[in-house]
Amino acid sequence: MVDRDKARRDRMFDSLVVGGGPAGLVAATYLGRFRRRVVVVDAGQSRANWIPLTRNCPGFPRGITGPDLLHRLKLQATRHGADWVCDTVVGIRIAENGFLAQASSPIHARSLLIATGVVDSLPDVPGTADMIKAGALRLCPICDGYEVIDKRVAVIGPAEHAMKKALFMRTFTRDVTLLIADAAQPSPDDVLRLKRAGIEFGACARDAISAEGRRAVVELVDGRTLSFDTIYPAMGSIIRSRLATDLGAECDRAGNLVVDSHQRTAVPGLYAAGDVVDEINQLAVAFGHAAVAASDMHNYLAKGEGSTDCRLKTPRSDSPTRTACPALTLRYRQSQTIGLLPYVSLSDPAASREQFRQTVPQAGIRPDKAELASRSPASWLFCSHWPKGCGGKAAIPTLTTSSCWR
């Protein structure tokens, strides 16, 4: 029997993704498709699990549940080579050549993506999960405010924060009530804004909500009982950024991890994506973060390997002098790599042509059918005849810069 824990313990991964939510799984798919050795460690606590049905996720016009979306994303990631581990990372430290994560068994990786998300603060009442499933309690007005058009809606939470969300809900319905769950009261200016927006308000306790069928009922401090189609909590959230901040990453006052335009933190090799970053908490945003982060992680790893194409095993000649030189990687559209050609200079066309004709047979291309063409500021190599089985003359190659030894 294979000891999988021992195999992971003895293996160096290119990338570790902590968090198996939308951001983490999409990043794993990208990294797998970059042919990276990537492992996702997930504790099964993704916020997306709470989604009863969303029609706001791109590509699913009829909607999709959160668990179904996560299942599809996990399937896609593992099909492209990502390892998936159901476990909890309790700590991470910087180690030789990367990071060492503490879980049931240690995991060593050269780069790290934190996609741990947030935990919503919810009313402390029985049956919260059932209320969310029924739609009586909703978490994201941007995601599903469209679903409550013209319905009776309430927003519960501290006055300042809840008022902003209540005003936003006027986008979808005229029947909005603000339920103030702290001692603070709206200022005179805020009261005027609420009245102009047609929003009623009243005070209640945080745990004054109960379910009544598919509706939510609230008992106010003044003794009144109100019934709503949906209640949105505006009680804040706990941002799971500790693993990154313990490594030296920066966070803002709210606890969101601070990243640059490539999702990089202040720690080399450490990235963050999804709700743990200060952005609107949306599936589409998480997908975008993941694509950006994974692409930059791949490039970061390649720099450490001394090549922009780390998957290509570059041959070395028998020349005693080994100097780094740029090269061209020749690929067909179906991503079949057929060889490396030198990156030729136009300063001496005759020498460049001769160099080209000497090396082009390594790629299986007939030298008598090869041409040299140029476009400033560099040169590209074009051939009019390709090896059999690669699409004939119609198989136009794509040329990408790489590096090699000569």
Residues 6+ apart with CB under 8 A from 96: none
pLDDT band at 375; cut points 50, 70, 90 = very low
For 266, the token pair is 């202040």
Residues 6+ apart with CB under 8 A from 320: none
* DSSP state at residue 212: E
Q: Identify the three-state secondary structure at position 17.
A: strand
Is residue 11 within 8 Å of residue 277, measured between CB atoms? no
Distances (CA, A) of 39 to 13, 15, 74, 275, 312: 7, 7, 12, 20, 22
For 67, the token pair is 């668990």
For 241, the token pair is 């950024």
pLDDT band at 160; cut points 50, 70, 90 = confident
Share of the chain above pLDDT 90, in %: 66
Is residue 83 within 8 Å of residue 40, measured between CB atoms? yes
How far, in Å, CA of 256 to CA of 280, rounded?
Answer: 11
Give tens-digit pLDDT for 245-290.
999 999 998 899 999 999 999 999 999 999 999 878 999 999 999 9
**Sequence-separated contacts (24+) of 91-99 with Cβ below 8 Å:** 91/243, 91/246, 92/18, 92/243, 92/246, 92/247, 93/247, 94/247, 94/267, 97/12, 98/12, 98/269, 99/16, 99/247, 99/269, 99/270
How much of the chain is helix, strand and coil, in % rounded to 5?
Answer: 30, 30, 40
Is residue 255 within 8 Å of residue 178, measured between CB atoms? no
First-to-final CA distance of the chain: 45
Give tens-digit pLDDT for 59-100.
999 999 999 999 999 999 999 999 999 999 999 999 989 999
How far, in Å, CA of 186 to CA of 179, rounded?
Answer: 11
pLDDT band at 320; cut points 50, 70, 90 = very low
Burial group, residue 202, by CB count within 10 angstroms (0-12, 13-18, 19+): middle
pLDDT of 141 reads 93
Is residue 250 within 8 Å of residue 266, measured between CB atoms? yes
Single pTM value for the model: 0.73
406 pLDDT higher than 60: no
